[in-house]
Structure 1
Amino acid sequence: MPHRVKQYPRIAAMAIVALATLIGSAPMVGTPAMATERPAAPEKNPPGDIPDNQVFVTYTSPLGFSLKVPEGWARTERPDGAGFADKYNAVSVTVASASAAPTAENAAAHLVKVGRAVKIEAIRNVVLRSGPALLIVYSSNSEPNPVTNKPLRLESHRYLIYRGGKLAILDLSAPLGADNADQWKFMSNSFQWRRSAAVGIL
């Protein structure tokens, strides 16, 4: 039985289908930020560092990809992908059909539109072990804490990985100020497309 994640990012769950429909359309240059919510103040001593001795296990999806994820994190399975979380640390992958790789303009505009007080820090093309990808570095608010009703400021890396008519969105997020650079690099480089009859990826 799949585990339910309490603090699963809202952005990734909403993004994949809508973003795929934008690909190939006119660039959304100059789209105004729809940030009606104010950014939450960063924590002075943010929780969320993934331990240096964290054990990772390989998750293989029927959607045609595999990824190294921290052992023991709660897992949520969805028709379009999967998510893994431990408190406010989260990793998610969603997959959908797409006619072409996303542009930086469309991807950033959509992220600002569906996210909570999103601030884009950087957008650049990178090369993972699986191939080229578009990386968006950004900060945003979490969903409000059910007890305090206050959001936490998060930092995130979003990788958009396109191959053969399929777009994977890999999101890694943690409280702003947490030090997960090495672990995020390891996980993003562990992403691999796999042969899958379900999605026709080779």
Structure 2
Amino acid sequence: MSGGKGVLGAGILVTAWAVSACAGASAPPSPSASAPTPVISSGSTSESGQPATESNPPGDIPDNQAFVAFTPPGGGFSVKIPEGWASSTAGATTTFTDKLNQVQVSTAAAATAPTATSVTANDIAAWRGQVPRFALGPVSTVTRQAGPAVLVTYQGDSAPNPVTGKVVRDAFEHYVFFHAGTRVDLTLSGPVNADKVDPWRTVTDSLRWQ
């Protein structure tokens, strides 16, 4: 009798396990057991989780830019120019360039001090012919360390890049200074919206008559 009870008990256990297994197979998976959906971050980070490296907009002049004094061959004044920029001279005009930015220094004899009215009447037409798609901005009189100056602002297209053929829209600040029969034109240009306000102020504030 004891052997029969053992067999019967084993049969009950096997049947119970089978019913339990069938019930488990037919039950739907719990929603909490499903795999989480991956989340893709839209922030400015690299795959390693570190902040992505940002690049300066074209034409930005670094905050740590150094400046050196420039005196034209005929003397009469000095002005600070960004250090390391390439230079070229044609007649009484010296041009300093670096990538997309330019500072041009010109001298001429003048009988009287220029005014906003005289510059508008006598000079702007020539500049319009030199700058593609010239667009005149405000003309005003400003004060710098060397004294008053006529400031003419305008925009125009750069020359096409010799490699890519691309053209950059430039912003111009053209300052006209005068002292003791000498007229000095400082023309600063670089891409529109580039960060160059402080460097341009450094240049135009640095003019010193000798």
**TM > 0.5:** yes
Q: State which of 103, 107, 131 in structure 1 corresponds to 2:147.
A: 131
Percent pairwise identity: 40
Q: Residues 23-172 of structure 1 correspond to what in structure 2 (within 5 A)?
A: 46-63=57-74, 64-102=76-114, 103-106=118-121, 107-172=123-188
Q: Aligned residue pairs: how many? A: 150
Contact 1:97 1:166 in 2 (8 A): yes
Q: Give the distance between the partners of 1:77 and 1:111, measured in 2 at CA.
A: 19
Q: Which runs of 5+ in 1 are unaligned?
A: 1-44, 195-202
User: Which AA in structure 2 matches 1:52?
Assistant: D
2:44 is matched with none
Q: Counterpart of 1:10? A: none
Q: Does 1:180 align with 2:196?
A: yes
Q: Which amino acid aligns with 1:157?
A: E
Q: Distance in 1 between matches of 2:119 and 2:85?
A: 31
Q: Does 1:189 align with 2:205?
A: yes
User: Which letter maps to 2:73?
Assistant: P
SS of the residue corresponding to residue 61 of structure 1 reads coil
What is the TM-score when the length of structure 1 is the normalising length? Answer: 0.69
Structure ranking higher on relative contact order (CA contacts 8 Å, 6+ apart) = 1
Say what the alpha-carbon RMSD is for the aligned residues. 1.6
Deviation string, structure 1 residues 55-99 (Cα, Å, up to 9, x no partner): 111112223221111111111133303111101111110111122
SS of the residue corresponding to residue 101 of structure 1 reads coil
Give the number of the structure whose alpha-carbon radius of gyration is greater: 2
Match of 2:47 in 1: none
Secondary structure at 2:71 match in 1: strand
Tell me, in whole angstroms, the C-alpha distance in 2 between the residues paired with 1:113 and 1:79: 20
In terms of fraction of residues, the more helix-rich structure is 2
Q: Distance in 2 between matches of 1:77 and 1:112?
A: 22
Partners of 1:46 and 1:176 within 8 A in 2 = no
- Distance of 1:152 and 1:90 partners within structure 2: 13
Give the TM-score taking structure 2 as reference length: 0.67
Q: 1:60 is aligned with what amino acid?
A: T
SS at match of 1:173: strand
Change (3 A) 1:188 1:180: same
Q: 2:113 and 2:157 mapped to 1: Cα distance?
A: 27
Deviations, residues 147-187 of structure 1 (Å, cap 9, x unaligned):
23332110110001122222111011111110111111111
